[in-house]
Amino acid sequence: MARKFFIGGNWKCNGTLEEVKKIVSMLNEAEIPSENVVEVVVSPPFVFLPLVESSLRPDFQVAAQNCWVRKGGAFTGEISAEMLVNLGIPCVILGHSERRSLLNESNEFVGDKVAHALSVGLKVIACIGETLQQRESGSTMAVVAAQTKAIADKVSNWANVVLAYEPVWAIGTGKVATPGQAQEVHLELRKWLHDSVGAEVAATTRIIYGGSVNGANCRELAAQPDIDGFLVGGASLKPEFADIIRSLTVMKSQL
């Protein structure tokens, strides 16, 4: 079964009300392939979720950038998965490296978050990735396998999970893993899923790449057999996001 290409746009902590309206208008006017070909999700900050959900084109989905690890209650400042479901938000990004590093979210904590979000019906983009120091020491695969295992230990049904491999050294730095480097990790991750979770999960789970993806490098990355899409940061706020969404179909037409 072919894995549908997946493009996520992570707006991070950016945007004013007026800027968000402009981005939505830009996306609504963009010419992109059918949702049968590519699945597109955009992830604005929490405060803009209802606005974007209500005004964005129907073939795009909206994701939150985080949610709490259990049901709501006395957790000041947190947003529960149940609240997202109540708002009609179908998807959430969890385990982003910025939260792992700045807020000390552990592998186990992320695994618990993923399991809880899935349990209430959310789709999850689960982020994994190594630091530059870890890559240079040769421990890339050990790091991403441990991060993935913490999720696999808590999750039995992977149908609503997209794995996002984001090498930390390539996020927002302008550095990007070469297509060969990215493909190598994606292939090893798929082998790990095959051996540790099961053949069907390995074959059907989409593994997307994130880390300074832009209109210039997306087509070569999209051509790699185990790269099933992208999680895009800064470029998702710009017109070139449409080029990235089209990257797979452009590659196919050139082959």
d(CA 66, CA 81): 9
Longest dimension (CA), the chain: 55
Q: Are 11 and 237 in contact (CB under 8 A)?
A: yes
Active site (annotated) includes residue 105: no
Active site annotation includes 194: no
User: How far is CA 42 from its chain centroid?
Assistant: 10
Between CA 56 and CA 58 the distance in angstroms is 6
145-177 burial, b at 16+ Cβ within 10 Å, e below that, comes to: bebbebbbebbeebeebbbbbbbbbbbeeeebb
Q: Which residue from 118, 208, 124, 107 is spatially nearest to 156, judged by alpha carbons?
A: 118
C-alpha span between 41 and 60 (Å, rounded): 6
Instruction: Determine which one of 39, 96, 130, 186 is catalytic.
Output: 96
Active-site residue identified among 39, 82, 130, 166: 166
Q: How far apart are CA 42 and CA 30, in angstroms?
A: 14
Backbone angles phi, psi at 130, to 5 degrees: -105, 155
d(CA 105, CA 63): 20
* Residues that are catalytic: 96, 166
